[in-house]
A and B are shown apart, each in its own frame.
Chain A
Amino acid sequence: DTAVSQTPKYLVTQMGNDKSIKCEQNLGHDTMYWYKQDSKKFLKIMFSYNNKELIINETVPNRFSPKSPDKAHLNLHINSLELGDSAVYFCASSQDWTQYFGPGTRLLVL
């Protein structure tokens, strides 16, 4: 059973397009996160939701909009994609302080 899953695994798209990444966790955790990992492997938090409420909103362009329809799902929508958005995006969930990461979505903007 996959604990934290993301779709799609790979995403190749043109600059200016809008795309979404979906995340689901079946661990019953209350808190979910989106991270961006750049080409230098630096993992940086973007957003976090606790029981569908936004609790962390880092300095991220407002082209990025998270949405949590329920506590098991956290989606990320990106408008007007730019070259610099190319990265691996990881979803994670946690209960207490232990985080579990999804497999990542590799986004390439051409």
Chain B
Amino acid sequence: QKEVEQNSGPLSVPEGAIASLNCTYSDRGSQSFFWYRQYSGKSPELIMFIYSNGDKEDGRFTAQLNKASQYVSLLIRDSQPSDSATYLCAVNPSGTYKYIFGTGTRLKVLA
């Protein structure tokens, strides 16, 4: 089983819709969870991080964490064509400085 799993996509949503991106992880002791956005040919850029169970909102983005089920998700409300990118989930396993990345989900927002 991969340590961090994401559906590679592409996930296509119409402009203005909610995009829902999911990520599962295998290390039950993981403490910190991150979502990065990566445009083609560019470097990953941090969008959000979450440590506690529940929801965390920042503008059009909401991160949701469920440690019991070992998944973390990212919702993008009012999706824009400029949101089209690959979204990488990253997990920081307990007691380490490491970040384990998923393979990313490619999101396409159709105008």
List chain A positions with a Cβ less than 8 A from chain B. Answer: 31, 33, 40-45, 48, 50, 55-56, 90, 97-104
Contacts and interface: CB of A to CB of B under 8 A. Distances in A.
B98 interface: yes
B43 A102 contact: yes
B101 A43 contact: yes
B103 A48 contact: no
Interface string B86-100: 101000100011111
Contacts of A44: 101
B71 interface: no
A101 B103 contact: no
Contacts of A33: 99
A14 to B, nearest CB: 24
B27 interface: no
Given A90-B44, A101-B44, A42 B103 contact: yes
A40 B45 contact: no
Given A97-B92, A103-B43, A40 B103 contact: yes
Interface residues of B, number: 20
B17 interface: no
17 contacts: A31-B97, A41-B38, A41-B103, A43-B88, A43-B104, A45-B100, A48-B97, A55-B97, A56-B96, A56-B97, A56-B98, A97-B34, A99-B34, A99-B46, A99-B99, A101-B43, A101-B45
A50 B98 CA distance: 12
Nearest to A48: B97
B8 to A, nearest CB: 9
A4 to B, nearest CB: 8
Interface in B69-108: 86, 88, 92, 96-101, 103-104
Contact of B86 (A41, A90, A97): A41
Given A31-B97, A41-B104, A104-B43, 17 more contacts: A41-B86, A42-B101, A42-B103, A43-B88, A45-B100, A50-B97, A56-B96, A56-B97, A90-B44, A97-B32, A97-B34, A97-B49, A97-B92, A99-B34, A101-B43, A101-B45, A103-B42
